[in-house]
Each structure stands twice: as C-alpha cells, then as structure tokens.
Amino acid sequence: MANECELLSTCIFFNDKMGHMPVTASLMKQQYCRGNFEQCARYQVYKALGRGAVPGDLLPSAGERCDRILDRH
C-alpha cells in the first residue's frame, strides 16, 4: 500500500504496547499508519533521530512531546 508507514510491521508501540487494546490500536493504525503517517510523532522522531531515539511509550498523537524531543537535539 503506497500510503502505509514503512514501520508498521515493526512498530514497537503497536506490536508491544497495544496488544490488550485491539480496537483502539486498529483505529490509531487507520489514522496514522495507513493514513497520514507523516503526522505520527513516533515516525517524526524516527526520521529525524533514528529508531533508538523513539521512546517506547510515545503515542502517535503526542505532537508536543515529539517537538520537545526534537528540540533537545
């Protein structure tokens, strides 16, 4: 799928943190991973600083936290 995040199958957030919330995870994946993934806070940190800089608990919708992480670097 052309508009799908390259990290979807390996995203630690969805694969490790959202297993107990499948409906919520599905809705978030539709909005971020299979939609406008460039707006995902996790994706933005990954692209700017690499996978190791992405906090495990960073929500895709955490734009302000993402900005703070990016501002520190």
Q: What is the pLDDT of residues 11-63, one digit of tens each?
A: 888 766 677 778 888 888 888 898 889 999 999 999 999 999 999 889 999 99
Q: Does 46 reside within a domain?
A: yes
Instruction: Write out the residue range of the structural domain in which residue 36 sits.
Output: 8-71
* pTM attached to this predicted model: 0.85
Per-residue model confidence (pLDDT) at position 68: 97
Name the one residue in this structure whose structure tokens are 């107990």: 20
| Rounded distance between C-alpha atoms, residue 73 and residue 61, angstroms | 20
Per-residue model confidence (pLDDT) at position 10: 86
Per-residue model confidence (pLDDT) at position 73: 87
Q: Does 3 reside within a domain?
A: no
Residue 19's φ and ψ, nearest 5 degrees, are -60, -30
pLDDT above 60 (res 1): no
Q: Does 33 reside within a domain?
A: yes
Q: Does 2 reside within a domain?
A: no
